[in-house]
Amino acid sequence: MKQILCFGDSNTWGHDPCNDGKRFSFDKRWTGIVTKYLGDGFSVQEEGLCGRTTVFEDPFDPYLCSKDSLPVILRTHCPIDLVILMLGTNDIKQYFHADISAITQGIETLLQMIQKPEFSQGYPAAQILLISPILIGEQIADSPFGELFDGRHAYQLSLKLAKAYQKTAQKFHCHFLNAAEYAQPSAKDCLHLDSAGHAALAKAIGAEVKKIFSKT
């Protein structure tokens, strides 16, 4: 049984932009669709949290920083064969004042944690699929989350994530996927996947996971 850990933010948790932020059912979330796609022999564990950052301490919620929670989660789920890591959107919130370099350093910190033997409880370190998140919509300033993001600057910064993450994945010998090639944010809030987005992203992730394990 291959153990897969999906670690991310609200787009891993399943925030439904068309239903007041309620959670998509498991069969509609990309994690649930991937579970069905992979079938027997795979156990997919969800660790999505709305508002989650890489290393930034949110002044309004003390429980969103991954560098504090990830070590415990890694130990909880080990042995892990693959960690699917998709974060970075919340790092773009304007009160963090983070540029692409700072966000990339945050991702690198998490990759280092995943690869540390002390967090794998004596088991081999997990493989990693690093996913650069979907874009922030160009009209984010007019969305319900507009006050959290610096309008067009947030959109432009989100455009830089894929290239930066791909380089980081190469540096850490990780697998890489650009979510923005397969799905877009909902027009409803310019931030979250709708049901069609979850389905499209799940198809891409599922295929990549099968490809990864076909080589092992």
Report pLDDT digits (tens) over 187-196.
Answer: 999 999 999 9
For the chain, the structural domain boundaries read 2-214
Contacts 24+ apart (CB under 8 A), 200-204: 201/30, 201/134, 202/30, 202/31, 202/33, 202/34, 202/37, 203/33, 203/37, 204/177, 204/179
Backbone φ and ψ of 36, nearest 5°: -65, -40
CATH superfamily of 2-214: SGNH hydrolase (3.40.50.1110)
pLDDT at 120: 86
Report pLDDT digits (tens) over 9-68.
Answer: 999 999 999 999 999 999 999 999 999 999 999 999 999 999 999 999 999 999 999 999
pLDDT at 127: 98
What distance in Å separates the CA atoms of residue 84 and residue 64, rounded to the nearest whole number? 18
Report pLDDT digits (tens) over 118-172.
Answer: 898 889 999 999 999 999 999 999 999 999 999 999 999 999 999 999 999 999 9
Confidence of residue 216 (pLDDT cuts 50, 70, 90): low
The Cα-based distances of 168 to 71, 74, 75, 178, 179 in angstroms read 20, 21, 24, 13, 16
Tell me the HSE value of 75 on the side-chain side, using a 13 A CA sphere. Answer: 8
